[in-house]
């Protein structure tokens, strides 16, 4: 039973914006039917609410699958694209990095789009350029269409990378928020694996067509899920806000306490609907923003995108003959490890998983670095050389497992948790832009660095990852078991 009393408390009605995709009256219809039928037990109520939230998460997870497909597309297609279009290494590196350039443009716009059009509306807007971009790549006969498709598709990915974790955090109950939030990264890894796996069987043009499928399915799926209740509350849409929250929690669940908490948080955060750069100077805003930005920067500077984008090339350098199969195996391991992290997120906590994950990455990178350094001075006919190839493979697998246990999912999750709703638009755009800028730098430089020195490249990544262990230990707060309103109020 929802609470309507005091419905206007703290929710300004002067500047109401309707969401692009209407929440829909069917929620209230379903609520009425549920009440008339009478739910049998509290367990059934809880189960109904959980199923509703999980369904919403699975629908928007199509976006991160698209994100992952983009990240994984370069690895299995590099040889064929270079041969078919007669590209140089630098031209293909530019192709790989243009997704990040497009994502940076998307990042600049994503916060304001999500604020003015709603979370669902921004995902609808993101899906369209993704589909167009993949079609461009599929029909490319020269670098112009190839580059344009990658750039357009990257724009959509930039919006998705911000909007999906924010939407999931805002709809999830606090006891499920960590695990459901980790579904974002799990979906990315599934997308990467699909690109690796399908790349074994189809050519790069057909693979590009298959890349458009997740967003093609996402568009109609958005019409069957509610808008974020916290965004609706911020926009002053009281009835829609409570209807959305009711369907997410279960139709016979008393949501009055959560409704009041959200209303108080919205009322105390800001009466305005926009926040200026000057307002970010206040500690309650800049401190969580700096934590979020630094986590996302360090996530990229560990070099993981360079490893994932060019894993086939790295395996060839390690002397692995079946480099494409090894790449698929790496993608499968990443999915499994991220699945484990999803299960652990609300049990072990974000901070502990981040420390363990970044420490494991640092140790793995040391092993990979030493292996590649020694391979340079040892004969290829030596048994030791074969052993070093195996050690480098073990190190790369351990690196991906460690990354998947925390560093992959948690920075985006924490960013969506610690930023107050009043600054999420502006601050989220800044954090997402910086993340994609770093991703572009890593993706663009990885091929050149690997040509310079594979061992040296991984040594650089090792130093950054070791610093991440220190940063997380000193500065990152634990958010497990706390509501979004509690987390954000702790920075005041």
Are 229 and 172 within 8 A, CB to CB?
no
Please give the structure tokens belonging to residue 161. Answer: 């990378």
Q: What is the mean pLDDT of residues 323-352?
A: 87
Instruction: Find the radius of gyration of the CA atoms of the chain.
Output: 23
Give the model confidence (pLDDT) of 373-384 as tens digits. 888 788 777 888
Secondary structure of 155-209 as H, E, C letters: HHHHHHHHHHHHHHHHHCCCCCHHHHHHHHHHHHHHHHHHHHHHCCCCCHHHHHH
Query: What pLDDT shows up at residue 141?
Result: 92
pLDDT at 347 over 80: yes
Label residues 92-101 b or e (16+ Cβ within 10 Å = b): bbbbbbbbbb
- Give the pLDDT band (50/70/90) at residue 360: very high
CA distance 421 to 489: 11
Task: Name the least confident of 72-81, 280-289, 293-302, 326-335.
Answer: 280-289
Q: Are 488 and 174 in contact (CB under 8 A)?
A: no
Among 12-21, 260-269, 317-326, 433-442, which stretch is predicted with the lowest mean pLDDT? 12-21
> pLDDT band for position 319 (50/70/90)?
low
CA 371 to CA 317: how far, in whole Å?
11
Cβ neighbors of 110 (< 8 A, separation 6 or more) are 122, 158, 159, 161, 162, 163, 428, 429, 432
Q: What is the mean pLDDT of residues 232-242?
A: 88
- Most confident stretch, 6-10, 370-374, 421-425: 370-374
What pLDDT shows up at residue 318? Answer: 63
pLDDT for the residue 276: 62
Fold observed for domain 50-225+278-491? Growth Hormone; Chain: A; (1.20.1250)
Rounded Cα distance, 392 and 330, in Å: 13
How far are the Cα atoms of 177, 320, 373 from residue 369, in angstroms, in the given order? 36, 16, 6
Close Cβ partners of 298 (under 8 Å, ≥ 6 residues apart): 411, 464, 465, 467, 468, 471
**What would the mean pLDDT of 280-297 be, rounded to a whole number?**
84
Task: Output the pLDDT for position 139.
Answer: 95
Residue with the bigger pLDDT between 213 and 429: it is 213
DSSP 227-274: PPHHHHHHTT-HHHHHHHHHHHH-TTS--HHHHHHHHHHHHHH-SSS-
pLDDT at 317: 66
Q: How far is CA 357 from CA 71, 338, 345, in A?
A: 21, 11, 12
pLDDT of residue 362: 96
The chain-wide mean pLDDT, for the chain, equals 83
Answer whether 104's CB lies under 8 Å from 158's CB. Answer: yes
How many whole angstroms separate alpha carbon 119 and alpha carbon 172? Answer: 14
**309 within 8 A of 74, measured Cβ to Cβ:** yes
- Under DSSP, is residue 465 helix (H, G, I), strand (E, B) or coil? helix
Rounded distance, CA 146 to CA 98, Å?
10
Q: Residues 188, 71: contact at Cβ < 8 Å?
A: yes
Q: What is the pLDDT of residue 47?
A: 46
Mean pLDDT, residues 69-73 taken together: 90
Q: How confident is the model at residue 28 (pLDDT cuts 50, 70, 90)?
A: very low
> Taking 80 as the threshold, does the pLDDT of residue 270 lie above it?
no
pTM: 0.80
The pLDDT of residue 36 is above 50: no
Rounded Cα–Cα distance for residues 38 and 307 (Å) = 54
């Amino acid at each position: 039973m929802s609470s309507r009393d005091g419905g206007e408390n703290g929710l300004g009605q002067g500047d109401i914006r309707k969401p692009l995709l209407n929440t829909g009256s069917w929620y209230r219809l379903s609520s009425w039917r549920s009440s008339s039928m009478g739910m049998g037990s509290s367990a059934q109520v809880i189960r109904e609410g959980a199923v509703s939230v999980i369904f919403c998460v699975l629908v928007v997870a199509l976006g991160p699958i698209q994100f992952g497909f983009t990240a994984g597309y370069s690895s299995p297609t590099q040889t064929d694209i270079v041969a078919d279009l007669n590209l140089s290494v630098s031209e293909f590196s530019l192709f790989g990095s243009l997704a990040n350039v497009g994502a940076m443009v998307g990042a600049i716009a994503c916060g304001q789009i999500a604020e003015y059009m709603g979370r669902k509306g921004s995902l609808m807007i993101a899906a369209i350029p993704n589909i167009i971009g993949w079609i461009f790549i599929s029909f490319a006969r020269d670098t112009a269409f190839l580059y344009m498709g990658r750039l357009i598709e990257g724009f959509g990915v930039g919006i998705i990378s911000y909007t999906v974790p924010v939407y999931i955090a805002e709809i999830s109950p606090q006891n499920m928020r960590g695990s459901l939030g980790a579904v974002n990264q799990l979906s990315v890894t599934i997308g990467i694996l699909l690109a690796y796996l399908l790349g074994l069987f189809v050519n790069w043009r057909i693979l590009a067509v298959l890349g458009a499928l997740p967003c093609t399915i996402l568009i109609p799926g958005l019409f069957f899920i509610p808008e974020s209740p916290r965004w609706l509350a911020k926009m002053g849409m009281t009835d829609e806000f409570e209807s959305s929250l009711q369907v997410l929690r279960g139709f016979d669940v008393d949501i009055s306490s959560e409704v009041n908490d959200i209303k108080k948080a919205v009322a105390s955060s800001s009466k305005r609907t926009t926040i200026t750069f000057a307002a970010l100077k206040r500690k309650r805003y800049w401190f969580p923003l700096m934590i979020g930005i630094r986590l996302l920067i360090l996530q990229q500077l560990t070099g993981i995108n360079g490893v994932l984008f060019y894993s086939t090339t790295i395996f060839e350098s390690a002397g692995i003959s079946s480099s494409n199969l090894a790449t698929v195996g790496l993608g499968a391991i990443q999915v499994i490890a991220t699945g484990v992290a999803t299960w652990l997120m609300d049990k072990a906590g974000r901070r502990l998983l981040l420390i363990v994950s970044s420490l494991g990455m640092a140790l793995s990178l040391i092993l990979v670095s030493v292996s590649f350094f020694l391979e340079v001075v040892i004969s290829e006919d030596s048994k030791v050389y074969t052993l070093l190839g195996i050690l480098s493979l073990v190190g790369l697998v351990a690196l991906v497992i460690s990354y998947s246990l925390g560093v992959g999912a948690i920075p985006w999750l924490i960013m969506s948790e610690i930023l107050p709703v009043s600054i999420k638009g502006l601050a989220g755009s800044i954090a997402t832009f910086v993340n994609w800028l770093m991703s572009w730098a890593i993706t663009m430089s990885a091929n050149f660095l690997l040509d310079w020195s594979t061992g040296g490249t991984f040594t650089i990544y090792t130093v950054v990852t070791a610093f991440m262990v220190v940063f997380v230990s000193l500065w990152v707060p634990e958010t497990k078991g706390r509501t979004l309103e509690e987390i954000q109020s702790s920075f005041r």
